[in-house]
Amino acid sequence: KYILIGALLVAVIFVVAAVLSVLPSATVIIHPTRRQMVTDLNIVLSLTQKKPDLTEKVLPATTIDRQDVLEFTMPTTGRAQVGYKSAQGLVTFINDNANPITVPAGTIVMTQNGICFATAKEVVVPRRNVEYFAGVPAGLRAGQAEAAIAAVELGSAGNISARRIQTIQGPLAENLRVVNPEATFGGEDKQIKVVAAEDIERSNAEARKQALAIANNELAKLSGSDKYLFDELTRVDIQSVELSHQLKAETSEIAVRVGYRATSLTVARDELTKMVRGVLSASLPDSFALVSDSVKLVDVTAAPQGLQGAVLYVTSQSSVQGVIDRQHVLRGLLGKTIDEARGFLGSVEEVGEYQIKLSSGAKSFPAWGARLKIVVVDAT
């Protein structure tokens, strides 16, 4: 009895195998379509955020800061005329008194408008003398003495015409008179560089500019290559500006010393990439999937947003790949002719290239799923 049953089973197997051998079979090899995407996203950085929020596109930010001092020089643009040489000349002191009078060196004589000269040496002005004519007193002659003088202030303002000096400074004015019989001469001016108001303004502006430029470099060193640091988010507070010279001071350049504090927001590069990857994945239809290692951030810029955060403008490149629904493809191909199958496969957007292999002599796909094999080649 058992021998008979075994023989029947063997016979059935042979019959089934024979039937299957004459039924058509097919294999379809599918390469999912792959597309390149360029996407612009806005990601918010927030100092108050504790963890990433994919739905709201918010990332936690960290603060980095540095205090430092920088020094630089600025050329001056102001010009001024200043005295270079003092004017020289002679004055005559006149004594109408009965006694000689000594005029010490350094005695000041001046013009009516206050241009002052100092005597170079001590001189004695003789007393007045009685003049006689034929032995008879005919009058009085005042005593006179010359003294060399030099202008107190350097410059051409000391070059004055004759008889303009008529005043003696101090108690000698009560007993003596003075006059310059000839013009004074030799006073010269020269042009010098001085600090102009514009130079001080430029120095303050340059202080901020250089502090900002240096701050970005210094903050970049502190943050490291694994973080994004944005020049647009760097804030520089100028704490002190010291100038070596003040307004109108003679100098060809100003030495500037600036104390500053710089702060900025940073975010880890991998955290931003992870956020972008998550946003892109969530935005795709079910028929496509993001090739995760394909996400590249090609441009990232920033703009401040209040005091606690910023907005990042991110341009990314990535690849997406079709997700093949094998059952959907299988149902769509069963019993189809080759042309019908090609039309169907062409209508499925997630299908890229494909190859169809039918059994020898077959003109259509099998109607039985067991005879149809779907092979998906994952390009990743």
What is the per-residue pLDDT for 5?
60
Q: Which residue has the higher pLDDT, 300 or 23?
A: 300
What is the per-residue pLDDT for 6?
59
Sign of the alpha-carbon dihedral angle for 241, 244, 249, 250: negative
User: What does the pLDDT average to over 51-56?
Assistant: 93
Residue 14 has pLDDT above 90, yes or no: no
Are 336 and 366 in contact, with CB atoms under 8 Å apart? no
User: 357: Cβ–Cβ under 8 A, 6 or more apart, which residues?
Assistant: 26, 27, 28, 29
What is the per-residue pLDDT for 380?
55
Helix, coil or strand: residue 306: coil
Residue 57 has pLDDT above 80, yes or no: yes
* pLDDT tens-digit series, residues 142-176: 999 999 999 999 999 999 999 999 999 999 999 99
Are 184 and 151 in contact, with CB atoms under 8 Å apart? yes
pTM, 2 dp: 0.62
Radius of gyration of the chain (CA): 52
Exposed, middle or buried by CB within 10 Å (0-12, 13-18, 19+), for 127? middle
Question: Ranked by mean pLDDT, which of 123-127, 216-220, 374-378 comes out on top?
Answer: 123-127
Give me the phi and psi of 272, to 5 degrees please. Answer: -65, -40
User: What does the pLDDT average to over 6-13?
Assistant: 53
Domains located in the chain, CATH noted: 82-191 (2.40.30)
Pairing of the two strands 176-179 and 88-95 = antiparallel
